Every structure is written in C-alpha cells, then in structure tokens.
Amino acid sequence: MAKIMIQGTASSVGKSLVTAALCRIFKQDGYSVCPYKSQNMSLNSYITLDGKEMGRAQVLQAYAAGLEPEAFMNPILLKPSSDTKCQVIVNGKVYGNSNAKEYHNLKAEFKDMLKEQFLELEKKFDIIVMEGAGSPAEINLRDNDIVNMGMAELVDAPVLLVGDIDKGGVFASLAGTMLLLTPEEKKRVKGTIINKFRGDIALLQPGIDMITDIIEIPCLGVVPYFHHILEDEDGSRMEINKTVNAPIDIAVLMLPHISNFTDVDALRTEEDVSVRFIMSKEEFGNPDILIIPGSKNTIEDLLTLRKAGIEQKVKEYASHGFVVGICGGYQMLGKIISDPLKVESQALCTEGMALLDIETSLEAEKVMTRVKGSFQHKGNQGGIYGYEIHMGTTKKGAACQDFIALEEVNGVKVENFDGTFNEKGNVIGTYIHGIFDSVDFRQYILNIIRENKGIPVKVSKTYEGIRDNEINKLADIVRENLDMRKIYEVLGMK
C-alpha cells in the first residue's frame, strides 16, 4: 500500500481539490484509492449511509475515488459553535463539546486510535491520499499534532506542499513554511505545488528555479487558475459573489454560524441562476428566492438577525417573495424555539419569525439520518433525497401543510413526514440538507420562478452527473500540469 499527504502553506490554498484530483487520477489509472483527513474543522458536514457524520471535503474526495463516503475517511470532525468551543465528532458520532485547550489535550488520546485505523485502511486500498489542515508551520500546535506533520510521522507518509499564488507571496509562503519545519519534517517534503496561477508560465519560471534552490525541494508543477462549480470547503466563494449576474436572483442569509452552505451548490449549476450571500439589510434587495440556511447556533443567529434588522426584512419579503428555510433556518421560521436543556442558549424560550405555524424544542440527542421521499407542494410532487443533522424536534400547527413524505430513513422503510409550508405556499421549511441536489425539486422550484418572470422553463440536470464531469475536468487539468511520473516515484510506484 502506498500513501501520500497533501499539506498547504495556509488554509484555502487548494489542498482539498488537489487531493480530490489525485484521487480521481489514481482511480483512472486503475488503482483502488481512498481519501483521508484525520481531523477536519468545518460546519459543512454530511451523513453517511450508516448514519454517521463526516466533513464534506472528504465526501467530494470519496466521489472522486469512486467510493461511497464513509466516516473512517474523516475520523475526527470539529464543528465550531462559538469562537472558543466546538462539538467533537469521533468516528461519525458525537464525542462531546470542548474548548480549544481541552481539545488540544484530548489529541494525545486519539493518536493510537488514528494509527490503528490507518493500518487497517492500508490493507484495503492501493493508495491513500491524505490531506492536512491549515499549515504545518503552525508551530504553536506542533505538540500533539494529529493532522499535519504529526500524522505524516505517525504513518510514515511523504508530503507534497501546496502554495496559492493567487493571493500573492507564494514563494515567501513556501520558504517560510520550510523554515519553520524541523529537520525531520523537512525530509518528509518531497515536492511543492504552486496552485491557482494566472498568466505566462515563462515569467514564473525564474521564481520557481530560485525557490527550488532556496528550499532544496523540487517543484512538481504549477496548476492554473480555472473556474469550477465543485463545492467549497471553507466558504471563500460566499465572500466573492455579491452581485446578481443572471435572470434568477437567489439570496442566502450569511448567518454568523452558518452550516452546510453547500446546500445551495446545486443551484449554482443552473445557467440562469445567480446565488449571492447577504450579510446586511442593505444587501437584501428583492430576490426571487430567499434561503435561510442551517446554523450551528440557531438561537444566537436568530437574535443577530433580529438586532441587525434583517429579520424584519425577511418578514416584509415573505408577504410576496419565496422563502426556503433549511434545518436551523426552518426552526427560525417558526413561532417558538425552546431550549429547556440550554443546548444553545441560556434562554429557555425564544420567539421565532412566526412565518410558519411550528414550534421547535432543542434536545440533547443529535439526529443524523439519510432520507428519501417525495415532496408535495400545492398539488405537485416529485422525488427528494438528502440528509438530516439537527438537535431538535419540530411540531406542526394547523395552519401548515406537510411538505415531504419520508419513505426511507437510513435504509429503513418508513411512513413519516418532514417539513411544512404555509397556506399561501411561498414559505417552506425542511430539515433536509441537500434538498436542491434533488433534480425534481430544484427544477420544480426554479420553474415556478421562471414562469412568474416570463423566462422559458428548463429541464434541470442531475447534480451528481454535473459533479462527476467537474471532477474529471479537475483531474485532467491537474494531470496535465503536475509531474505525475515524479508523484508516482514519491509513492514508490510505477
């Protein structure tokens, strides 16, 4: 079994996508390959077929490798609930809540588990493509490190170091990172990759030659900047897209503790749709659809919206616009959010926006399910699928109608309901993440808007097919621009 680890000079340099590209390349070359990230910090998570939670980046990488996502690909997931605390997910299940210092001390306890699990993975796959987190030069975190050089040492993995030239300062980042590594760590770095390059490669070559001499590590390639619609791990695109550049304007509330913003990625694949994230009432405008996404701290985010005047804008918009609340956003649309166990807040009861006749009670046990069913909306219906991740139960009042008939939960046949919509049908709420991935629902909702605006209706494409084509495009670009022969040498393979 061979392994290789992709580390970066910083967050958002492209580690996740380089890892995904290599997974697809190795798969194309006939190898069984598995992605692996020992520890991920993200509010974008996913539920596996067996009801376990994992980070979305490894989900994309699993698809690139031709695998069904499984929690062993991301054994530790940290979900921040505030600036100092996070929920710790271990092997797909809630381990507990921890502050930064407590978790730093916990990491030593996880090392044996991670090594044992990794040794088992080595028996099952030809190649494991590992991903680090942040930067290995975070020297304050070197002790008990289990995700960068500490993990590489634990399983004796060679490292490729990725730097992002689009931000500027890539040579300083590469040199500075190498400067802060120990002699033993430096020996693990077998090559560098310069990512997101725009321009003439001939003008960059002198810099590549000089940095190679300075750090004494070869550059294995320069990956050009290119547009893609693959899901984003850290939300950088949320900050970029603020304008409406297509006939259909979809606005998403940028909650302070937003989670699973990848729920809207399928909407980005529609050519006549513009998705923008709004942070203030001044940015609100008059969108065709307003989405209130999930939140890791629903009550605090609701109070923030209220204080900023955004809640009032939502209420005014709901008189004529189309509102979709997902998970925490669904809870906000109701009349009451109770927190008897003080799961999220010291307040036992908080008023919601009262746009749906529902009441929610937050509970200690976390719901983590994969679901299938069909939506029913004003005489129309279609297939739907996705996953639920929430801590709370919601009861529907008489003024609302059932939205989704659930037919399968974690592979078990059921007869149940999720979500609701108001009498007018323009305010919808659901616990199901990934609802717009369902081609029937996405096409139905967008065609309502198209008809209202006098735009020709369209047949939507499956998100899974689009995603697979994008992964292939990514792999082609990376294969063309990296020295794959050298990478196979690093792996110890032909």
State the average pLDDT over residues 152-162.
Answer: 98
Q: Which helix (H) or strand (E) holds 358?
A: strand 358-361
Q: Identify the residue with better confidence: 462 or 346.
A: 462
Q: What is the pLDDT of residue 102?
A: 87
**Full-model pTM:** 0.92
Q: Which helix (H) or strand (E) holds 20?
A: helix 15-28
Contacts of 187 by beta carbon, 8 Å cutoff, 6+ apart:
none
Confidence of residue 285 (pLDDT cuts 50, 70, 90): very high
Cα–Cα distance measured from residue 479 to residue 21, given in angstroms and rounded to the nearest whole number: 8
- Residue 164 CB coordination number (10 Å): 24
Cα–Cα distance measured from residue 71 to residue 48, given in angstroms and rounded to the nearest whole number: 7
Q: Interior CA angle at 437 toward 225 and 430, to 5°?
A: 130
What residues act catalytically?
A: 327, 433
Cα–Cα distance measured from residue 316 to residue 13, given in angstroms and rounded to the nearest whole number: 40
For the residues of 98-143, what is the DSSP string, one character each?
A: EEHHHHHHHHHHHHHHHHHHHHHHHTT-SEEEEE--S-TT-GGG-T
Q: For residue 23, what are the CA distances in angstroms to 69, 85, 162, 200, 486?
A: 13, 33, 16, 28, 16
Contacts of 115 by beta carbon, 8 Å cutoff, 6+ apart:
154, 155
Whether residue 224 has pLDDT greater than 90:
yes
Q: What is the pLDDT of residue 105?
A: 84
Confidence of residue 402 (pLDDT cuts 50, 70, 90): very high
Q: What are the tens digits of pLDDT across the range 117-147?
A: 999 999 999 999 999 999 999 999 898 999 9
State the average pLDDT over residues 148-161.
Answer: 97
Domains of the chain: 2-230+468-491 (3.40.50.300), 248-454 (3.40.50.880)
Q: What are the tens digits of pLDDT across the range 237-273?
A: 555 556 788 999 999 999 999 999 999 999 999 999 9
Q: Coil, strand, or helix at residue 407?
A: strand
For the residues of 221-283, what is the DSSP string, one character each?
A: EEEEP----SPPSS-HHHHH--S--SSEEEEEE--TTEE-GGGGHHHHTSTTEEEEEE-SGGG
Q: What are the tens digits of pLDDT across the range 89-115?
A: 999 999 988 888 888 888 888 999 999
Percentage of the chain surpassing pLDDT 70?
98
Q: Coil, strand, or helix at residue 494?
A: coil
Q: Which of 409, 426, 410, 427 shows the shortest CA–CA distance to 418?
A: 409
Main-chain dihedrals φ then ψ at residue 458, nearest 5 degrees: -135, 160
Least confident of 41-45, 160-164, 205-209: 41-45
